[in-house]
Amino acid sequence: MTITFQLSEGSALHFTQHFLQTSPAIAKAIQTERIRSFLLSLVFGFLIAVGIDRDNPYPALGFFLVLGIVLAVLQRRIYQHKYLQAAIKRIRSSGIRKNFGTHSITFVEDSVSVQTPLIQSSISWQLVESSTLTADFLYFQLIGQQGYAIPVSQIGQQAAEDVHAFIQSHAGQAATPPALPEAETDH
């Protein structure tokens, strides 16, 4: 099964946004940042509160406790904004722009073949993490931060559903090695 579509800056940005919202690695990094910013706020708050008023540090400490909670809550937006800005800069670089244009992806039982304006490669199903189908995009996620946001309008709803089901049934699977011929035995 082969699909052909146009990769553009817009679809690359859609993939980045999808990755930010669904990646377990991003969720873990955000959680780590939340904890770090909360703890740093408490430590600095304690040091400052004690430095300001040793006899009654509680009002200043309360302020830094609230500040730590606010920073922890906002950390997701801050992290996603910084990541998205870096991704936009990377996507708009000349090296990535050269890859925009017609892409063809062929899905077969033992691998996925990708043909872009720059390369042609074959990918093992072990490197395919998942796919997600929305009304507008078929997201095809490889391990790491690679993949595609394929506009459903370019490949058709039925093709998107078929490819999504095929990816879901094969993602993460190791290729089956060919059977070895049985050795003859002398009796």
Which pLDDT score is estimated for 90? 77
Q: Could you tell me how far CA 171 lies from the centroid of its own chain? A: 15
Return d(Cα 105, Cα 115) in angstroms, integer: 6
Identify residue 51 by its one-letter amino acid code. Answer: G
What pLDDT, on the 0 to 100 scale, is given for residue 181?
A: 54
* pLDDT at 4 exceeding the cut of 80: yes
Same domain, 123 and 70: no
Same domain, 20 and 85: yes
Dump pLDDT digits (tens) for 114-132.
888 888 888 888 888 888 8
Of 73, 94, 115, the residue that ends a domain is 94
Average pLDDT for the chain: 79
pLDDT at 86: 82
111 touches 175 (CB < 8 A): yes
How far is it, in rounded angstroms, from Cα 40 to Cα 75?
13
Q: Is 58 contained in some domain?
A: yes
- Band of pLDDT at residue 182, cut at 50, 70 and 90: low
Question: Residue 175 falls within a domain, yes or no?
Answer: no
> Has residue 176 been placed in a domain?
no
Q: Please give the pLDDT value at position 175.
A: 53
Strand partners, 128: 142
Instruction: Note if the pTM is more than 0.85.
Output: no
Q: Are residues 124 and 161 in the same domain?
A: yes
pLDDT above 80 (res 59): no
Q: Is the per-residue pLDDT at 110 higher than 80?
A: yes
Share of the chain above pLDDT 90, in %: 2
For residues 85 and 54, membership in a common domain is answered with yes
Q: Are strands 2-7 and 111-115 parallel, antiparallel or unpaired?
A: unpaired
Structure tokens at 37: 């910013």
* Separation between Cα atoms, residue 68 and residue 74, nearest integer Å: 10
Whole-number pLDDT of residue 185: 54
Q: Which domain holds residue 88?
A: 14-94
- Note the pLDDT tens digit of each residue in 5-57: 888 888 788 777 777 777 777 778 878 888 888 788 777 777 776 677 677 76
What dihedral angle (degrees, nearest 10) is formed by the CA atoms of 132, 135, 136, 137?
10
Same-domain pairing of 88 and 110: no
Give the residue among 105, 84, 90 at the shortest CA–CA distance from 6: 105
CATH code (residue 117): 2.30.29.30
Half-sphere exposure for 170 (CA within 13 Å, toward CB): 22
Only one residue has tokens 């946001």, namely 149
pLDDT of 174: 60
What is the per-residue pLDDT for 30? 79
Residues 39, 90: one domain?
yes
